[in-house]
Structure 1
Amino acid sequence: MNCTSVHTILAWWSDSRNLCIAALSCIFLYVIINAIYQLAFSPLTAIPGPWYAAISDFWLTTHVVRLQQCKIVQQLFDQYGPVVRVGPNKIVFRDITTMKSVYSVHKFDKSAYYKSLLTNNNDHAMTTLEHARHVARRKGYASHYTTANLSLFQPEMHDFTLQLVNILENLGGRTALDCLTLFRQLMVDVVCASSFGYQPGALSKWTVDSEDALSMAINDFPKRGILRSAVPTWAWKLVCSIPNKRFRQLCDSDKIMAEFVSARVYETRSQIAVGKVDQDDLEKRPMLRRLLEYRVNNTPMSDQDIISECMGHLIAGSDTASTTLSYLFWELSRRADIAARIREELDAAMSDSKAIPDISALQTLPYLNAFIKEGLRLYGAAPSLLERVVPSSIAKNGEMNEVFDLMGYGLPAGTIVATQGWSMHREPDIFPSPETFLPERWLNTSASAEELARMNQYLMPFGTGARVCGGQTLAQFMLRIVVATVARNFSVVAPPETNEKSMDMRDSFVIFPASMKCKLAFVPRKY
């Protein structure tokens, strides 16, 4: 190498180093200027909260990826009060009046966060940000989730629940099994029967050591959403190429469900085309048929939209109910007083332990319903922040305003606001001893009519306002049917490995135990 080459290399190195220093200096200067603006000049400066959260979303994101956002937001409310700034442009609140204003009165659009929950890379009702577009989409499936319509599917709900009972009887309480997995198989069968008129046999495929691939994909999807929301779009394909089998399964969860639902759509469309649909079943139509028949201005939904919508319902209907059921039975395993009281009520209501009452009868059992409500308060499966965006103008007292008044703080358009069920359900003035599982608080013998009405106002396990979960009626059906039938037939025992530490809640929009499992043994009752 001659001297000229050496000098050329050194000059290039010097120029490159200078460019790097200049770039880093610009980045540092931007960070400093942004921090000064956010802390001193932003319209949100007066709102209380940790200073480091105000200058960057990074701090809150660290808690999101650690699966502890709900808890950290609760801690912020305890420290700073009912309104807290948790990001440069994000405000969280805990207030019933503001909740009604944001979600019910003004019906703010959703934030871009929900796009991390796209199914098959396409919108469904939950990820449709604009309220007006969501209204049109919701009409396509709303009639499916009425109490009258879901009651028609009770035979399938009962059959699958009794299949679950048979599995537990065969195990005889000798083996502690993961309830999260087993209940998810049950819910997959129920949701597929009511949504597609199809039976995937998830329960029949289940063994103590394995689960159905579709069920696993449903469980993986929320975690995939958290990961995708934390990773830049350009880096997502790189992340999904990591050579680890289990990690690839998680990344492919969307694809697995899309293939399953696509097959159901094309099967049903073919049956309709050749006239194989039984005319006697026209009243008892699965949700998929309703979506295929749905029209907006005489225009049918595209197959892509139908597939994405059905995927959204499959995920929401299966994973959430199985989680709440698991926590409910964990409570029965460690609270002998509650177990004895609910069994006493069920023994009287179900003289034949295998004859499941109609939902109308189950809904009249005071303690069962109090038990379910308390479970939804503490273990509602989706207690996370429900992000909305302040619009450009807001009607108030007959005038249009450019600033939204949130408990005395003026928020400009584009500000993200949110509350979370986790905190609303733990308001001590409404729910004394909020961390204690206490079904009695919901009985009219323990609380006045006014107190019960107030508690019900704060209870939002399925969301709130115009975007409340469309499938909540199905969840309410299955919670009552499964708890009543299983508690009537079994005593629940938790092994040492299932304890406060293993069941400590984590959240990725939905909740799950820290151990990712809820192992319980179901011992047949002796009469």
Structure 2
Amino acid sequence: MDFQAFPLFILTSCFKLVGAILLVSLLTAIYRLTLHPLSAIPGPKWAAVSNIWLARHVRDGRMLALGKRLHDDFGPVVRVGPNEVWFNSRDAFRLIYNAGSGFGKSDFYVATKLNRPISDWKCWQGLNWPDTLDLLSEFDTRRYRLQRRLIGPVYQTSNVRRFERAVDEVIGRVVAKLRALDGVEVDLKEWMHIVAVECLGAVVLSWSPGYIRDGSDGGTSTQSYLGWKRKSVFGLFPLVTKLSFFSKSLGRWFSNAWGVTFATPRNFKPFFTPVYQKSSKRIAAALRQASTAKAASKDERKDLLADLVQLHRDRPEFTETYLRRLAVTNFGAGHETMCSALTSIMTMIGSHDRVRQRVNDEVRSCVPAPSPISCEDAAQLRYTQASMKEAQRLYPVIGMSLSRKVPAEGFSCHGYYIPPGYTVGCNPISLHRNRDIYGPDADEYRPERWLLELQQRDCTAAAAAAQARDMDRYHLIWGGGARTCPGRHLAEMVLCKVVPALCREFDIEVVARPGDDETKFYFMAMLTGVRARFVPV
């Protein structure tokens, strides 16, 4: 070879390679727009070409704004990616999320996996995941059903209400701390995260992380939310996510390329470290005690971890691996969802004077201070309950589609056929604002829509009852169908006690709140940037 011509050869080869890549990309785009099985489904053209379109919206936190307008622009069926379709209708909800429908979790959930796959780098052939009770991202339906059956009794309403007193004690300390602040403006999300983590600490481990004492969560809610920003982008590129389990450098490169890398602050102290240490120590002691038949030094704490230890003793199929995982999962799954729900509820009540006054009047007249507010008391606060439900409807915990994979027989809805293996789902933000279900004012915060007797002023009793059933049936507040959150009853117990207690003790005033177009929503969705004052009464 003529070495003087070598640079020209390299340059020519590079041009050919770039040209080939551009040609393949162009042909792929044309195919996806014209001949692809989903090409007839309406939606943004760039979304049909590449997942980059949706990923950019996710990265920038625009899921709230997108969820509000997407179906208004394109109708009940929208193609949001080359192989993904979002629906916004009763029919789609019933078909996708009904138990036994055959729709499994989509590959998006690989990004939420807590463990590496066992083996095999051939990611396109599927990965083998360890059985560690990874409830959010468990793909094996039979395994998931067994796990739910095992833990079901521990998380049923009658059992979690045994821990009301522990939550009351936390509420008492929260009220005392907020009173001492005397109406100073606070970050509402941070304080609702403080409440959530302290309640979980008390219920699960009979322990406090010290957040109430410090008046701060040490930035843990902020760091956690940045983690969801990263997971939400990675979930849209499952092949890259799978490969990153075997190549950390690939994961770092992809994260940097998308701008979802975030630094851990100096001296940052995540609460998961003491949670893991304390739960591991107690579990190890309980297992030693069982193996040596010792009766001495028996742990007398009556908390959720004690129930899980007993479940392990009674049901060997609830393995030690399951026990250790679930002890920590109570915090991993609960602290963000509970914080999100509390923040949405307190934001909406505190920013609507009419609603706030009515809630305050109801709570203060029905359950005078200083008596603790029980779940039975809270159930009688019908307007307060309606205001909580309405806030969660408009600002749910999940900001993206709860995506599912179409089963082998395919899926037909609204005149479109979706072949097996493609991804479908409903976005809670869109579904919860569906005017056919929630009325022509579905975008408004109006708690009265949940009160049947008030609905009957505008329509017949039968029509009001039918709408009430629809509103309860077609929502994704705690997940969809057979995959609803197993800890929802624990979360609802905390919500139904905390919200009335705070409204009884304080006038809650929202003094600053970003607009919906500025609010950052990812797969996990939270109202951030809300500033509020808890004014003692």
- What TM-score comes out, normalization by structure 2 length? 0.84
Counterpart residue type for residue 345 of structure 2: L
C-alpha displacement at 1:277, in angstroms?
7.2
Q: Which sits farther off after the overlay, 120-129 or 163-172?
A: 120-129
CA distance in 2, matches of 1:22, 1:312: 51
Aligned to 1:397: none
Give matches, 1:292-441, under 5 Å.
Answer: 292-293=312-313, 295=315, 298-303=316-321, 306-351=323-368, 353-392=369-408, 402-431=409-438, 432-441=440-449
Q: Retained in 2: the 8 A contact 1:144–1:286?
A: no
Aligned to 1:191: 200
C-alpha displacement at 1:458, in angstroms?
2.1
Identify unmatched segments of 5+ residues in structure 2: 117-129, 290-294, 456-463
Identify unmatched segments of 5+ residues in structure 1: 393-401
Q: Retained in 2: the 8 A contact 1:82–1:93?
A: yes
Q: Retained in 2: the 8 A contact 1:108–1:131?
A: no
Give matches, 1:23-172, under 5 Å.
Answer: 23-104=17-98, 105-119=100-114, 121=116, 124-172=134-182
CA distance in 1, matches of 2:19, 2:394: 49
C-alpha displacement at 1:290, in angstroms?
5.3
Over 3 Å counting, the alpha-carbon distance change for 1:279 and 1:256 in structure 2 is: closer
Over 3 Å counting, the alpha-carbon distance change for 1:522 and 1:258 in structure 2 is: closer
Over 3 Å counting, the alpha-carbon distance change for 1:152 and 1:220 in structure 2 is: farther
Over 3 Å counting, the alpha-carbon distance change for 1:197 and 1:168 in structure 2 is: closer
C-alpha displacement at 1:334, in angstroms?
2.8
Give matches, 1:449-464, under 5 Å.
Answer: 449-464=465-480
CA distance in 1, matches of 2:136, 2:388: 25
Over 3 Å counting, the alpha-carbon distance change for 1:300 and 1:368 in structure 2 is: closer
CA distance in 2, matches of 1:348, 1:517: 32
Counterpart residue type for residue 190 of structure 1: C
Aligned to 1:399: none
Aligned to 1:398: none
CA distance in 2, matches of 1:129, 1:251: 37
Identity over aligned pairs, percent = 24
The reply to whether residue 226 of structure 1 matches residue 221 of structure 2 is no
C-alpha displacement at 1:75, in angstroms?
2.3
Question: Equivalent residue of 1:177, what SS?
Answer: strand
Q: Retained in 2: the 8 A contact 1:172–1:524?
A: yes
CA distance in 2, matches of 1:60, 1:430: 26
Q: String of CA shifts for 1:193-224, please: whole Å, max 9, x gaps.
A: 323343333322x33xx424655554444234
Q: Which of 495, 500, 520 is the equivalent residue of 2:532?
A: 520
CA distance in 1, matches of 2:264, 2:314: 34
C-alpha displacement at 1:359, in angstroms?
0.4
Q: Which of 14, 20, 34 is the equivalent residue of 2:14?
A: 20
CA distance in 2, matches of 1:251, 1:45: 49
C-alpha displacement at 1:407, in angstroms?
2.5
Over 3 Å counting, the alpha-carbon distance change for 1:323 and 1:458 in structure 2 is: same
C-alpha displacement at 1:241, in angstroms?
9.4
Q: String of CA shifts for 1:44-96, please: whole Å, max 9, x gaps.
A: 12212222211211111111111113432442211221111111111111111
C-alpha displacement at 1:21, in angstroms?
1.4
Aligned to 1:247: 262
Aligned to 2:523: 509
C-alpha displacement at 1:308, in angstroms?
4.3
- What TM-score comes out, normalization by structure 1 length? 0.85
CA distance in 2, matches of 1:158, 1:428: 39
Over 3 Å counting, the alpha-carbon distance change for 1:270 and 1:368 in structure 2 is: same
Aligned length: 495
Aligned to 1:11: 5
Q: Retained in 1: the 8 A contact 2:344–2:392?
A: no
Q: String of CA shifts for 1:326-367, please: whole Å, max 9, x gaps.
A: 23222333322112211221122112x221222022112211
Aligned to 2:127: none
Over 3 Å counting, the alpha-carbon distance change for 1:465 and 1:356 in structure 2 is: same
C-alpha displacement at 1:379, in angstroms?
2.0
Q: String of CA shifts for 1:412-463, please: whole Å, max 9, x gaps.
A: 1110001111111101122231221111111122122222112112222111
C-alpha displacement at 1:158, in angstroms?
0.6
Q: Retained in 2: the 8 A contact 1:109–1:388?
A: yes
Over 3 Å counting, the alpha-carbon distance change for 1:460 and 1:251 in structure 2 is: farther
Question: Equivalent residue of 1:433, what SS?
Answer: coil
Q: String of CA shifts for 1:264-291, please: whole Å, max 9, x gaps.
A: 3321223312356758667965464256
CA distance in 1, matches of 2:410, 2:471: 31
Q: Which of 244, 251, 262 is the equivalent residue of 1:236?
A: 251
CA distance in 2, matches of 1:212, 1:265: 21
CA distance in 2, matches of 1:478, 1:166: 18
CA distance in 2, matches of 1:276, 1:318: 34
CA distance in 1, matches of 2:6, 2:391: 66
CA distance in 1, matches of 2:28, 2:266: 35
CA distance in 1, matches of 2:146, 2:467: 36
Q: Retained in 2: the 8 A contact 1:405–1:411?
A: yes
C-alpha displacement at 1:130, in angstroms?
2.7
CA distance in 1, matches of 2:517, 2:187: 12
Q: Retained in 2: the 8 A contact 1:354–1:485?
A: no
CA distance in 2, matches of 1:87, 1:181: 34
Over 3 Å counting, the alpha-carbon distance change for 1:492 and 1:259 in structure 2 is: closer
